[in-house]
Chain A
Amino acid sequence: MKVLVPIKRVVDYNVKVRAKSDETGPDLNNVKMAINPFCEIAIEEAVRLKESGVAEEVIAVSVGSSASQEQLRTCLALGADRAILVETDEDAEPLGVAKALKAIVDKEQPGLIILGKQAIDGDSNQTGQMLGALLNYPQGTFASKVEITGESVEVIREIDGGLQTVLLKLPAIVTTDLRLNEPRYASLPNIMKAKKKPLDTFSAAELNIDLAPRLKTLKVSPPPERAAGIIVESVDELVDKLRNEAKVIS
């Protein structure tokens, strides 16, 4: 079975992104870029499936600018066998990305597609579900455990208030949540080996995909600031403030 892992290049999760002063967008000048943390978990899960003999091949794919090659190489260093870049300078929305991924799925016919539940830049949480609808595949979103059993995959999902277990017919889509696994670090020999692994590039036009955005971003502004608070000296003072100043406890 082939496992396809779509990944995204995003601003590193430690960076506090600010809106540009003219409010035309986020200020991304000279910020550190990285693989989206949930995508890292997806790659790890796919590589573990290969290591346990369930998967034969792990293919990483990304839809983005040529700079995304850097994150695809990271995936190759983490254990993916080859990579595909659907190259576009458009800041593609989840629907466009899902259409591009469908084109790759049609070519590659993977048995399982594992991707992050959300990218930490747009925070949309849509791409996996949209790909599921376009392919008419079942989905196990927000997964904390994935187990292949014959022609199906059992997925434990993180839901409001607890866990839900679903059984999905393959081919299927899984989106990763935090507790699915702890991603490994790439070793230096594997980083060197990754440079020789195949990385194919397609343009959106070659795949006949329309990545034009449907949403117009009118402005990007900073969130409302909180007024500075005070430091209290004791638990007594805290309780007094909450009771008599903020009036939030009785």
Chain B
Amino acid sequence: MTILVIAEHDNKELKVATLNTVAAANEIGGDVEILVAGSECADVANQASKIPGIQKVLLADKPAYANFLSENMGSLVSEIASGYSHILSPATANGKNFLPRVAATLDVAQVSDISAIVNADTFERPIYAGNCIATVQSTDAIKVITIRTTGFDACPATGGSASIENIEIDNDLGISSFIKEEIAVSDRPELTAADIVISGGRGMQSGDNFSLLNGIADKLGAAIGASRAAVDSGFVPNDMQVGQTGKIVAPDLYIAVGISGAIQHLAGMKDSKVIVAINKDEDAPIFQVADYGLVADLFDALPELESKL
């Protein structure tokens, strides 16, 4: 049984999501290989080769994969898929984008966003915004799976020395092209990788008021998130959204400020270790999942909290 893990990276650095995914692969058991597909990404392959317990790293270094276009990525992975028992990718924007193309090409079902492994063909995954956990068994020969990274602790990044093998498959389907990317530059940790997350909701009342979270985030080394209501209201961009249809986070500490606690939001953060809710409405559903609730006007509480940290 050999498992293929598709690495998440930006052509320079291997992302932690890859380590969560390798951890899931190790839990399934069997040999684990990693595919690094990208352009001028040899450094990433070197980093991947240092993950302990990896059999080998496959490096597909071609311009066609530079921006991880789903059409080219899907075609590449489908072509090398035979022989693997499982193909795993983190459930990141990239993984969600290309992996279903692989599953459909192989004529197998995909098991999306698994949060736990029961055995080699049976997995747990949240459905209905995490209000139910389904245990599903795959009957397909190749199991194509995306991994909910918060469900698996990252494996070590160093200590191994796997060999790197170049693969020369150059699949540019020519039906899509990359124009540009606008990535928000921030000194703060990434939302999905941060130990502490502070999020604002509709109660923040405006995008400007999100600056009230900045000082606290700086003092705690926290990432800043938002509820869907705050995104829908146009306060902040969608990449800050935590929830069923946004990012799934499970930090050590999650501070929800002015967030009522809609089902969709809870789906994205209720696996956090400690949850704090600050809301002036004492009946807000967020208090039902909070370890510590503070019923207060956030415009008073936030400056005070910042001053006391």
Contacts and interface: CB of A to CB of B under 8 A. Distances in A.
> A and B bound?
yes
Interface of A: 11, 13-14, 16-19, 26, 38, 93-95, 98, 117-118, 120-134, 136-139, 141-142, 144, 154, 157-169, 172, 177-179, 213-223, 226-232, 234-236, 238-239, 241-242, 246, 248-249
B98 A129 contact: yes
Contacts of B97: 129, 139, 141-142
B309 A165 contact: no
B36 to A, nearest CB: 18
Interface string B188-199: 001010001000
B67 to A, nearest CB: 7
Interface in B89-135: 92-94, 96-105, 107-113, 122, 126-135
B301 interface: yes
B264 interface: yes
Contacts of B287: 229, 231
Contacts of B78: 133
B128 A231 contact: no
A217 B124 CA distance: 10
Nearest to B273: A248
Contact of B138 (A26, A139, A215): A215
B71 A138 contact: yes
A180 to B, nearest CB: 10
Closest 8 CB pairs of A and B: A129-B100, A130-B104, A214-B109, A133-B101, A138-B176, A162-B183, A133-B104, A165-B179
Residue among A223, A227, A228 having the largest count of chain B Cβ atoms under 10 Å? A223
B96 A125 contact: yes
B109 A121 contact: no
A166 B130 contact: no
Given A125-B96, A165-B180, A222 B132 contact: yes
B70 interface: yes
Interface string B224-265: 000010011000011101001101000011000000000110
B294 interface: yes
